[in-house]
Amino acid sequence: ELANRGVKDVLIVCCDGLTGFPDAVAATWPTATVQTCVVHLIRASMRFIAYGDRRKVATALRPIYTAPTAEAAQDALDDFEASELGRKYPATVRTWRKNWEKFIPFLAFPPPVRRVIYTTNAIESLNYQLRKIIKNRGHFPNDQAAVKLLWLAICNIEDKRTRERGKLTGRTREGHHKSVHKLIEGSVTQGWSEALGILVLNYPDRIEPHLNR
């Protein structure tokens, strides 16, 4: 559907392991990199862990997905597999190994890009809230009414996220709505400007022609 709507190229597709999705991406955009959502991968690997061990296992898995390189991540996974927790939960190790090739692409990038592509949660959260609003409303007299409702919903969602970020950073004043001027604050939420600079260096021929449009 995105290709039919005019999307000609995609650099990286982060997805949650939906069967057939990587193949569909490869068929549509052959040069795109498919990255498994790291948060989904962690959750899938924690499915087999007894409740009392979950915190310890989560700590033990962290060196894998925070490793500076794919080689270092492989060493961290080997170390986990050889540890007491790894021997106790071999299914967790198997989950990581099964998804390894789709997990490691983002390890080639520095932290600013990793923060952009490591999870689909932000998008899924937005889509869930929009679906909920549409479902509760029911019918619309016309398309414009639906678009207006979605626009107002996105403004409210972003206002809420801005206030939540403000509580963490101390930078948002009470009643100050940033979304009116800057709807999706990528530079605040994800460090998008820095990430874009890195992506330009990695994909100069695919990004630079579009920067000044």
Q: What does the DSSP 8-state code read for residue 15?
A: E
Amino acid 172: pLDDT: 46
pLDDT in tens, the chain (213 residues): 889 999 999 999 888 777 888 889 999 999 999 888 898 899 999 998 999 999 999 999 999 999 999 999 999 999 999 999 999 999 999 999 999 998 999 899 998 888 888 887 777 778 888 888 888 777 888 888 888 988 888 888 777 767 766 666 665 444 444 444 444 444 354 577 888 888 888 888 898 888 876
Residue 3 corresponds to which tokens in the numbers above?
Answer: 């290709």
Can you name the residues that pair with 36 across neighbouring β-strands?
A: 15
Mapped onto helix, strand or coil, the DSSP state of residue 117 is helix
Return d(Cα 7, Cα 22) in angstroms, integer.
Answer: 17
Are the C-beta atoms of residues 104 and 73 closer than 8 Å to each other?
yes
Amino acid 182: pLDDT: 43
Amino acid 165: pLDDT: 64
Amino acid 168: pLDDT: 62
Amino acid 181: pLDDT: 40
Return d(Cα 180, Cα 188) in angstroms, integer.
Answer: 15
Return d(Cα 192, Cα 205) in angstroms, integer.
Answer: 19
